[in-house]
Structure formats: structure tokens, C-alpha cells
A and B are shown apart, each in its own frame.
Chain A
Amino acid sequence: MSAKPYLLRKIISALTGLFLILFLIVHLYDNIFLFFGEEAFNTKAKELLSNPFIRVVEVLLFLSLIFHIGYGIYITVKNKKARNVPYKKIDWQTPFYKRMMWLSGTVIFLFLVIHLQSFLVPYRITGEADNLYQLVVLTFKNPFYTGFYIIAFIFLGFHLLHAWESAFQTFGFNHPVFTPIIKIIGWVLAIGITVGYSVVAIVAYLIL
């Protein structure tokens, strides 16, 4: 196999990643309907399912996920191979989360498997659960579930913190004025997603 510039791998990570970020924002918006009661939440869920546009985007979403994960693994393995003898003593000059995208990615992947199993499978595939609101609230009543949920979102927050800024660099965009703004947006995004999802989970656990 002839060697191809790493940018061709990286751009796939970046583009699929940005699409996944968009999804995270929309999903959080949908989650907020949990606060409006059983009726509103279940109607919203049914509405989304009957929307043909959403069904198409869903396919894209799964494809993005598969490519993002696949290339993530490929990039990680390739990059690890580039240093066959590790340092005995090393003082990295870069924050841990920028070096550990594979770790945060793995935690998010584990979370995703559990998440799909507890919601998507019973509601959409086996049809065991008909009342999504009940299913969600009941699932979040389990402190271990909610605990792991929050931990996973903290990892996701760190993943995003690097990912957002990194994507623009990959596209070749590094600007004296706009890059600092992009960085701030990255922080807002990472904290917003982590806190937003966690708050919904905590409210479901404590109050609903």
C-alpha cells in the first residue's frame, strides 16, 4: 500500500466529528422536552420518528459514527507505531486530554453501546417499551447508570475541547483573530454539552 498523507485520514475524523457535534446539540434540545412532562416528551419522540428527513439523517449519523470510530482506531494505531521505543522519562508539553483522544473515545464508545441498548433497542427494535418517557426516567433512577452517564459526558467534554479547535487547524484555518474566538466557542461547547446532558440526567434521577 502506498503511503498517503495523514491529512486524508484526519479530515474524515474532523468532518464526521463536526457532524456528530451537530447531532449532540440537537439531541440535547430534544432531551429538554423531558422537563415538559410525559405527554410532551412522548409526542416529541413520535414526531421525530415519523419525520422522513430525520430518518435519512439517522443513516448519515450511523455512517459518521462508524467512520469516526474506524478512523480513530486507525489513526491511533498508526501514531503509536511511529514511536516504537517509548520514553523512559517524558514531560509532555501538551495537556493530557489532547494526548488521550483514544481514551476519551473509548469511554464514549462504551457509553454509546450501553445507551443504545437501554433506549434504542427496547423502544425502536424489540418494541418492549412503548412509553419512552417512563423508560428514560426509570433508567436514570439507577444511580450507577446516571453516575456512568455523567462520567462519560465528562470524557466527552474533554474529547470535544480538543476536537473542535483541532478540526479547524486540520482544515488549514488558523487565524490571529478568529482562532481565539474558535477556542472560546470550543470551551462553551464542551462545557455546555457536558453540563447540559448531566443536568438532564440529574433532574431525571432526583426529581422526575
Chain B
Amino acid sequence: MSEKKTMRLTLKVWRQNGPQDQGRFETYELDNVNPDWSFLEMLDILNMKLVREGKEPIAFESDCREGICGTCGFVINGRAHGHLHKTTVCQLHMRHFKDGETIVIEPFRATAFPVLKDLIIDRSAMDFILKRGGYISVNVGSAPDANTIPVPKHNSDRAFDFATCIGCGACIAACPNASAALFVSAKITHLALLPQGHPEREKRVDEMLTAMEEQGFGGCSNTYACEVECPKGISITGIARANLEYWRAKLKGN
């Protein structure tokens, strides 16, 4: 294997002791960064260095580190999950940055996402929305025969596209209005496209959009900033679809 050139980085990281703390940026220098490290591995190394120096490590969240759980996420140089398209921070590698670069790291910011510590935010607001409509009703008991409910292939494919939302919150972070429209619409569209979702179809869209409002998210003004940053490539056509679902429910008198 050829010798990889290591990188030297200047990191401006948002540090905040707790929800009440004002917070501020702190600057760290990190040498010998391997371009093959993921962004989170780079922060792990920085944290080890901070611990060795007797300083408080930077708090950030992660779980799967393979881009499927939606736990990680913060703003890198002004972009949610960094500048790379369709990538979570855990899947973002240091080779996409330049040697000597200054990288600014901030938590996702929304009124509904209070900062708990440093880069960790409380995303419970998203769970509250899901609880209000992100479910279907099925009879308990033995599993039904396969293919008892026919689903057209086209619909199942499209439903799956919207089902891939990992609930990371990047769409909210990237929205000028901190709107959760992309996240909410992904669930509404996913379930509206499948017959299993139909018993609660009208109730779901009304409840979830109301919950989004109650949790303090902004309204969608169709800027489409969300779609660009979504690591799963959820399309804003889902927002149109959810809007249509809402008008349909209203016209039906729900």
C-alpha cells in the first residue's frame, strides 16, 4: 500500500455545557489526520487527545456508524451532515476535506431541538410526531398469508423510497424555517401508498401535521433545501403528496 499523506486540520467546534449554557466555539488543532478516517473517527481521536490533556471531550452522538440509524448528525461548514451528497457524518470521510482546512462544526439548530451538550440535541420532538401517526393497525394473531393484500410493484417501490427516512433531522436543520415537512411527509407518503396504511389515512396526515406544529417546527415554504441535505435522498415530491393527502382528507370532511 502506498504511503498516505496525513492532514492537519483546524477545528472550530461548538461547545455548550448544557441546555442553559450560552455556548461558544472552541478551536482545536489536529495533526496526522488519516484521510481514510470517517469524520466521527477523527472526532474520536480528537477526544482522546482532549482526555489526555485533561480536558472535557466533545459530546456527539452516533450508533451504527454505517449510515442507517440516523443517530449522528451535525452541521459541518454550514451543511447538515457535511457537503457530501446523500451521506451521514458517520459515512463522511476525511479525504473529502483539504489539508490545512478550517472546519466549523455546529449542532443542528431548531427551537424544537434544544442543545443538550455540545453537538448533541434533543430530537424527541420528531418522536412525538411519529407517535401521532407513524403506525398502522393490524390484527394480532397468526401471520396472514403472503399476497393476501395485493400491492402494485410501483407503489411498493415508491413507498419504500419514502420508508428509507432514518429520522436524522438533517432536513429540519437545513430548512430556513426549521420545518419538519420532509420528515413528516416521508412517513405520510410511505403509508398512503400502501393499503395497510389506509385505515388511518386521513387521520394520520391531520394528526402528524398538527403535531409538527405543536412541537414548534416551522412551516414548509417550498425552498427545497431539505432535499439537498437528506442523506437518504427523500424527495420533496413526498411533500406535495402529503399536501395532497391533507387536502383530500379535508375535502372528505376529516
Q: Which residues of A are at the interface with B, using a C-beta cutoff of 8 A?
A: 2-7, 9-10, 75, 78-79, 81-94, 98-99, 101, 162, 165-166, 169-174
Contacts and interface: CB of A to CB of B under 8 A. Distances in A.
B104 interface: yes
Contacts, number: 129
B112 A87 contact: no
A6 B219 contact: yes
Contacts of A5: 206, 209-210, 212-213, 246
B93 interface: no
A89 B78 contact: yes
Chain B at the A interface: SS class: mixed
Interface of B: 14, 25, 75, 77-79, 83, 104, 106, 109-112, 115, 174, 176-179, 206, 209-210, 212-214, 216-225, 228-229, 236-237, 239-247
Given A83-B110, A172-B246, A173-B244, A162 B210 contact: no
Contacts of B77: 89, 91
Nearest to B220: A6
Chain B CB count within 10 A is highest, among A3, A5, A99, A174, for: A5
Chain A at the B interface: SS class: loop
A165 B222 contact: yes
A172 B243 contact: yes
A90 to B, nearest CB: 4
B221 A101 contact: yes
A30 to B, nearest CB: 31
B218 A78 contact: yes
15 contacts: A5-B246, A6-B218, A7-B243, A10-B221, A82-B110, A84-B111, A89-B77, A89-B104, A90-B75, A90-B78, A91-B79, A171-B243, A171-B244, A173-B240, A174-B239
